[in-house]
Amino acid sequence: MQRSLIAALVALTFASAGITHAGEFSITPVRLDLASSARSQLLSVTNLGSTPARFMVRAAGWTVNEGGGVDLVPDDSLLVFPASFTIPPKGTQNVRAGTDLAPADVERTWRIVLEELPDPNPTAQQGTTINVLSQLSVPVFMAPRQVHRELKLGPPAVDGNQARILVANTGNVHALVTAVSLTALREQQVLAEGRKEGWYLLPGSQRTYAITGTAAWCTSGVNRFELRAFDRDGQQLAQQALDAREVCR
């Protein structure tokens, strides 16, 4: 099922400046999957607003930084067409993305970056006006020849009610790690717990999750810890149980 991604524009507040907002738009699908038998796909951009919308489109490689944000890197192996266009109100523009590359041992990843451009003929308004534009990117994946999924959860480093857990993707495809949880237990009794939201973890990458507990992690009576990583549907991706003596040193 295709899902629309509605571009939510940032609302700014200035005491002496007027604010105008670029129109809303939707993108379907919210990700593209390429394969050896389908090395190109279409992305549809629909202008939901009442004025024309102009866009510039490019492709890039990407990594996920420690803060969970996207860092774009140059990569010309994915082509997009057209590279710029104007969509009339309620209109739709298709963008084709494709590559000549074949599946490799490790998943290939790109992003299609869409940047909204300012109106070349803005309407004159009294006073200072700031026009807030949008930039969105859509992930593109090409599965490897053989898929191997594996996540490793490192032992937590704890200090009071703070914990840091290293999660490494040692597989060859991305993992959508939407949450990592830590629980301190005495037998089956929960003494402290915490959870940290996450995002994409690309193959060969790792990220440290800082988790705040409801109490000190190494509180009296703790005898074991449970670490878990979950996907967006709440399904468990990885789990590890640790003796408290390995953590509370």
Convert the pLDDT of each residue in 173-197 to its tens digit: 999 999 999 999 999 999 999 999 9
Band (68; pLDDT cuts 50, 70, 90):
confident
Closest CA to 167 of 32, 177, 232: 177
Q: Output phi, psi for 245, to 5 deg.
A: -70, -20
Region of 233 (left: φ > 0; alpha: ψ -120 to 50; beta: rest) is alpha
Least confident span in 74-78, 127-131, 170-174? 127-131
Range 27-37 average pLDDT:
95
Predicted confidence at residue 129, as pLDDT, reads 53
Predicted confidence at residue 249, as pLDDT, reads 86
What distance in Å separates the CA atoms of residue 134 and residue 53, rounded to the nearest whole number?
A: 11
Contact 7, 134 (CB under 8 A): yes
HSE-CB at 13 with a 13 A cutoff on CA atoms is 0
State the pTM of this model.
0.83
Q: Output phi, psi for 109, to 5 deg.
A: -135, 140
Range 7-35 average pLDDT:
59
What distance in Å separates the CA atoms of residue 172 and residue 102, rounded to the nearest whole number?
A: 15
Q: In the chain, pLDDT over 70 holds for what percent of residues?
A: 86
Least confident span in 113-127, 202-216, 225-239? 113-127
Band (131; pLDDT cuts 50, 70, 90):
low
Indicate whether 90 pLDDT > 50: yes
Name the DSSP letter for residue 145.
Answer: S
Indicate whether 4 pLDDT > 80: no
Band (17; pLDDT cuts 50, 70, 90):
very low
What distance in Å separates the CA atoms of residue 13 and residue 11, rounded to the nearest whole number?
A: 7
Work out the angle at residue 246's Cα, subtended by the Cα atoms of residues 208 and 167, and round it to the nearest 5 degrees: 20
